[in-house]
Chain A
Amino acid sequence: MHRLLSNFTKYRFLLKELVKKDIKLKYRNSILGIVWTLLEPLLTMIVLTIVFTVVLERERPSIDFPVYVLVGRLLYGFFSSGTRLALKSVRNHSSMIRKVYVPKYIYPLATSLSSFVTFLISLIVLVAVAAVRNIQPTFHLFEAVIPIVALLLLTTGVGLVLATLDVFFRDLEYLWGVIMMMIMYTSAIFYETDKFFTDGGWKMWLFKLNPLYAIITNFRNSIFGEAPDVFFTVYSLGFGVAAMLIGVILFYKKQDEFILYI
């Protein structure tokens, strides 16, 4: 444990450099640069709002649809980009791993953290849109910390698992793309799920068992001034911790074999 910590202190500069590199390179050669982090979710929100309220004419008096969509889009976006980047992180640094000793967990950790930083920056859009839509903040807003922590744990944990498996199975990227699509549709980003929950049928479980749905719901609750759902809080935090544990154990067990495959 002590060795692990002293090793981490030595390589904290590398972690910082890698996080910085991810963010810097993401928007290099684009005129608007980091502004895209704000513009992209905003434009997605506008498109989805127009499609669902103007074109499809689905009125939703109960909620503020733009904010509802934006929250879903931002949280899903972090999970999606964080896991996708982590998946490739070990193989992308193969030339480095083959030559110089560096604690290998640094690579997937850096991608999760860089996605997290981008996510935090993009929350500015949410603040702006919520202000424009006149959504009054309540003390429940502080409870948004719970889903954010759960999401960070979940993304990092799943990222570690994916980074490990991708070393051995190169086609994982495509498989994960399909799984992400399933996760997206059961996260209820641009539609409401009340109907399924009042029915109480099997379809309800599609959402209830998706930890990302639990996280997004709790985050929305905190924005709209409602208390967090107890089941979703316990479930998402538990899922996050479990994903993290599995990720760390799997990564540590397999990391010495990486060099033979990359």
Chain B
Amino acid sequence: MSAHHNNDSIQHLYEGDQSKLYSGVLQHHTDINSTESKNQVSRIWKIFWILLAITVVEVIMGMFFSHSMPKGLVNFFFLGLTILKAGYIVAVFMHLGDEFKGFIVTVLIPLVLFVWFIIAFLADGGFWLHMNSESPARQHIEAEK
């Protein structure tokens, strides 16, 4: 954690370089060849291989199985794998997983809006599908052809 400052001694930091307020920002390590550093690098490469493997699975499914399997199941797989990939990128590559829990929640909560967006727009799309395929106006147009 950052060192405690009293309010007077930090005033100048607000006006200029704020970085010294946050211990996480300063270069807090010195030896890039240390075991800790090497562990972090190997974690990065591990996530890379996981992301690559997920993408390969997705492409193989898209090429060979997406036409022979039930569409709903395929979409469920694709969306699940996409969210898994997104989770790895955000948690490890963007280091959100290393932040304080309160900050993680602050960033993620607004994304809950997407649940409503998707429900609302699928409902809207369903209405238009109905209008396009079954509405009297459409039948009138078809009959005139």
Q: Do A and B interact with each other, yes or no?
A: no
B residues touching A (Cβ–Cβ < 8 Å)?
Answer: none
